[in-house]
A and B are shown apart, each in its own frame.
Chain A
Amino acid sequence: MESESVIEIRNLTKIYRDFWGRKKVRALNQLTLDVKKGEVFGLLGPNGSGKTTTLKLLLGLLFPTEGEVKILGEPATNVSKNERIGYLPEETYLYRFLNAEETLDFYGRLFNIPAQVRKDRAKELIEMVGLKHARRRQLREYSKGMTRRIGLAQALINDPDLILLDEPTSGLDPLGSRDMKDLIDKLKEKGKTVVMCSHLLADVQDVCDRIAILFEGDLKVLDRVDKLLVDEGVTQLKTSQLPENVIREVEEVLKRHGASLMNVDHPTSNLEDLFIKTVRESKERPGQRHVADGKPTAAS
């Protein structure tokens, strides 16, 4: 079952240069990646690993040093692709002298949305992100989380098919990040594609179908979350409430087959373990990269 690719990244390299054209940083190195329609994709990596750079390249805000990007079937430099994209930047870069309503009205106009539709949608979104009480206040007075919320609202003003979220939960209160996860689930239900960067691994594990882990511009891990988190060496039993004697009996059975009962607790997330392991290994053995067939190999 091969569904349509919404994002195609081929051998993407980005080198930041200074004013004189001298090389400063290799922020992204030969990245190849596809995002399918309808999936929630997570971009992970330590600080400065190139996540934001990848998103900016996708949006045509930066130009690639090498390689190609296709997004919604168009090159990244085509402005018309933006009609169907919603983008929440890393920090909410909005006009601080506007209030919430004016902000949404402004971005709505940029999508050429007629006045009435704009008004309705703005009202709906402000309510959704929980800023109804502050809709007439200028953004300069907003707290970080409030700014984040209005930033999310502007990213959804055009009812986009593809949503790029750069650290959507940063600055949000627990309730807010919970809402964010629910929202992403809802978007997925509607068949939208979501690409997000995040450092909150629990959130990523909850909502993402697939993840990629970047380290210093190199792709280290790329796969389905459920597959990545399955430890083939461990079988976990989960049963209904068992009396003490039954547990002892089960232990006995296991012993007989040479296995041992390791855990009868509730299962816990371990994306965190995977992430830390990946980063640690990358530091110890630089040069190893993810390749298409899934097994990490040494780069040439």
Chain B
Amino acid sequence: MGSEFDFSGALITYISVIGSLLFAIITVSVAGSFVVGGKTGPLAVLSILRLAVEDWLSTSPRRIWAITKLTILEAIRRKALLVGVVFAVLFLFAGWFLAQPASDPEQQVKVYVAFVMRTIAFLIIPMVLLLSCWGIPEDIRVRSIHTVVTKPCRRQEIVIGRVLGFTAIGGLLLAIMGVVGYVWILRQLDAKGRERLVARVPVYGKIAFKDREGVDQKQGINTGDEWMFRSFIEGGTKSRMIWNFEGLDAFNLETADHLPMEAGFQVFRSYKGNMDRGITCQILVVNPDTEKRAVAPLVTSRDQAGKIEQTDNAFEVKEFRENLLQLARRVVDDEGNELDLFKDFVSKGRLRVEVLCLPTQQYIGAAGPDLFVRLPDKPFVVSYAKGLLGIGLLTLMIVVIGVCASTFVKGPVATMTTFFIVLVGATGRAFLDTIVDAKWVGGGAFESIYRIFAHLNPQTELPSTLPFKVMQLVDGAGVGFLRSVRYLFPDFKFFDLTPYVAYGFDVPWTNPVPPNSGALLPSLIITAGYLLPWIVLGYFSLRLRELEAK
């Protein structure tokens, strides 16, 4: 759907960025050392590379674990874990302010779950940021690092050990706070609210529309909303909202007596009508291969034993809440033939569903995610744990950036740098992308400057003589540089999984819904991709500097 995370594209970009970065670094250092030191310069660069390879080949898990353990012990003995206590106290008081027992259970769940997860994130993130940015600089300042690096401890082991240690602290806090938060949510909710704690597993379809003449359209009607996320169909016409579902084989089709779906349609009334009754809609199921179609009977009541007692061919849209729809398996078509929803309409896991609105001059509207097949729910704990894992991955990223920054500069500067990178990564990546990927009218910086002084408008062709060629080449390099630099900022939007959990959905691995929001696999991949380069950078920084407090 929409912008899925493009894995192969990401991998290619990754390799090309890392490759060009390496190439640039090596070229610059070889050339620079040649200028400074003559022939011995490049040789020195080579010997540094050789030493680096040796160092990395001698990496020892035992030494890494020693540093990790040291880091954890330090945090514990220096009472950094007091934050956990702060968190518990905060929960005790937060109940008073958030208490709203009268509001509906769904709203309660949203508020409490979001509150707990955001609080956890906002407590852990600043703490690991500070810890990771001050660890190594403090080690250098009091020179305890001298006793470590005069042992056979390799510099990358220090970096990795520190990263693991701080992440472990973050993880530990995350686990403790997660459990406390979970218990707190359970206690705050009444019985009805607790029932709403679910992790729904949706299968989304691709949406399409037909207008009132029955002609295919990408979108429905705009009823005057500026934001065209949802578009509408008119009642009593040939207008339709159509969803094409795939991958329904995941649902156990053999034993079920219905297909569970959930709808969240919006209503637009052009006249008031009976406000006590909702707008009625109908659902048609269509076999995408044979085009066989029928009205789907919806289960309205079941007997004691749970068998279907009654079905209805239409349903009323209740706005601003989920409408649970059970499409009965037994379907009767226009000619009165009895059919099987799963056998006669689902074909290779695909099913088309068409929704129409019955009353004339009333409208219903929806966007892609507003109708989905609801696979059997997972326990709430699952989505909650996945949401926490998202916070954990974010923690790891911040730790890696913080530790790497702290190998270059002192604590305060490292903190500012890391904070800046996280801030840009969390809020400004999209903006950066639009700037860098935009087509630059009138060329890059130097060309623009030239055009301003030469009073040339952006469309004027420049003479293709050497000076202009060089100018454009330099500009091109500048843009290329900017394009690479933006990758310094990891795209943190993928890490925010809280909305899924709060809204009662399972956290998806891929295919984020809505598009451009979080998902687990992209955040895992981003983390993995950034981990090594940052660590290598930290290694070289520690290796090439005198570890003397200045």
Contact = CB atoms under 8 A, between A and B. Distances in A.
B73 A102 contact: yes
B427 interface: no
Interface in B358-414: none
A163 to B, nearest CB: 12
B147 interface: yes
Contacts of A91: 143
Interface hub of B144, B145, B151 (most chain A Cβ within 10 A): B151
Interface string A92-109: 011101100010001101
Interface string A71-103: 000000111101101010101011101100010
B143 A110 contact: no
Nearest to A92: B147
Given A95-B70, A97-B78, A110-B63, A80 B143 contact: no
B138 to A, nearest CB: 11
B460 interface: no
Given A18-B550, A82-B152, A109-B63, A93 B78 contact: no
B150 A61 contact: yes
B537 interface: no
Contacts of A107: 147, 151
Given A79-B154, A80-B152, A109-B65, A94 B147 contact: yes
A89 B546 contact: no
Contact of A112 (B70, B147, B152): B152
A95 B142 CA distance: 9
B148 interface: yes
Contacts of A18: 550
A61 B153 CA distance: 13
A89 B150 CA distance: 10
Interface stretch (B2-10, B51-59, B108-116, B257-265): B51-59
Interface residues of A, number: 33
B171 to A, nearest CB: 21
Interface in B35-92: 51, 54-55, 58, 60, 62-63, 65-66, 69-70, 73-74, 77-78
Contacts of B152: 79-80, 82-83, 110-112
Contacts of A60: 149
A184 interface: no
A69 interface: no
A82 B155 CA distance: 13
Contacts of A102: 73
Interface hub of B62, B73, B148 (most chain A Cβ within 10 A): B62
A59 interface: yes
B547 interface: yes
A127 B62 CA distance: 25
A79 B147 contact: no
A60 to B, nearest CB: 8
Contact of A62 (B51, B69, B73, B546): B546
Contacts of B547: 61
B147 A93 contact: yes
Interface in B511-529: none
A112 B550 contact: no
A11 B239 CA distance: 91
B77 A97 contact: yes
A110 B73 CA distance: 16
Contacts of B51: 77-78
B66 A106 contact: yes
Interface hub of A59, A63, A79, A80 (most chain B Cβ within 10 A): A79
A19 B339 CA distance: 83
A154 interface: yes
Nearest to B543: A77
A98 B548 contact: no
B146 interface: yes
Contacts of A106: 66, 69-70
Contacts of B546: 61-63
Interface in B105-164: 142-155
Given A80-B54, A110-B148, A61 B70 contact: no
Contact of B74 (A80, A94, A97): A97
A138 B76 CA distance: 13
B151 A93 contact: no
A111 B151 contact: yes
Contacts of B142: 93
A94 B144 contact: yes
Contacts of B77: 97, 138
Contacts of B154: 79
A51 B463 CA distance: 66
Interface string A132-152: 000000100000000000000
Nearest to B545: A63
A89 B74 contact: no
Nearest to B74: A97
A97 B150 CA distance: 20
A138 B146 CA distance: 20
A59 B73 CA distance: 28
Interface hub of B63, B146, B547 (most chain A Cβ within 10 A): B146
B151 A98 contact: no
Nearest to A109: B66
A87 B147 contact: yes
A151 to B, nearest CB: 8
Contact of B143 (A77, A89, A98, A154): A89
Interface hub of A61, A78, A85, A109 (most chain B Cβ within 10 A): A109
A61 B146 contact: yes
A79 B51 CA distance: 9
A97 B548 CA distance: 22
Contacts of B66: 106, 109-110
Nearest to B48: A77
A80 B550 CA distance: 27
B548 to A, nearest CB: 6
Contacts of A98: 70, 73
Contacts of B150: 59, 61, 82, 85, 87
A19 to B, nearest CB: 6
A62 B546 CA distance: 5
A112 B60 contact: yes
B140 to A, nearest CB: 10
Nearest to A59: B150
B55 A109 contact: no
Contacts of B155: 79
Contact of B147 (A83, A89, A158): A89
Contact of B62 (A56, A62, A89, A112): A112
B393 to A, nearest CB: 28
A95 B546 CA distance: 20
Interface hub of A19, A93, A94, A107 (most chain B Cβ within 10 A): A93
Nearest to B70: A106
Interface in A159-205: none
B422 to A, nearest CB: 27
A64 to B, nearest CB: 11
Q: Which 7 A-B pairs have the closest CB atoms?
A: A109-B66, A110-B151, A97-B77, A93-B143, A87-B150, A82-B152, A110-B153
Given A61-B146, A98-B73, A110-B151, 14 more contacts: A56-B548, A78-B51, A78-B54, A82-B153, A93-B146, A95-B144, A97-B73, A97-B77, A106-B66, A106-B70, A109-B65, A110-B153, A111-B152, A154-B147
5 contacts: A61-B548, A89-B147, A91-B143, A98-B73, A106-B66
Interface of A: 18-19, 56, 59-63, 77-80, 82-83, 85, 87, 89, 91, 93-95, 97-98, 102, 106-107, 109-112, 138, 154, 158
